[in-house]
Amino acid sequence: MFLKLSGPIITLVGVWLGLWGTLRMCRVFHPLGNLILWEILVVMWLYITGRGNKARQSLENASTYAAVNRANDFRTLGGVYVLVFSFFVQMIGASLIVADLIVHKT
């Protein structure tokens, strides 16, 4: 039971850590602050629905904001560390999933 649950849960934690680390690294580009996930969904929806020009305009606006918003090197470096650590966590989770498959052959 441990292998069946721990692998997927640890892998999911690693994925969330990777998302968080990536967002910390790119924070300077996000004019909406904590609403960045909403901004990402809007831009992706514009691309999916064939409105690439409008999506590019939104991205251009964000990059303009980044020119005004000074980068926080401490936060960016922290994001890099979290992202790299997330890969190790995902590797552990994936290893446990493979171990579960080997131990519980059906």
Rounded Cα distance between 21 and 81, Å, is 7
**Residues 1-46 pLDDT 10s:** 777 889 999 999 999 999 989 888 887 776 666 677 788 899 999 9
Top pLDDT among 54 and 37 is at 54
Q: How far is CA 75 from CA 14, 19, 105, in A?
A: 19, 14, 45
What pTM was computed for the model?
0.71
Nearest CA-CA partner of 13 in 86, 71, 81, 80: 86
Does the pLDDT at position 69 exceed 70? no
Element (H, E) at 72: none
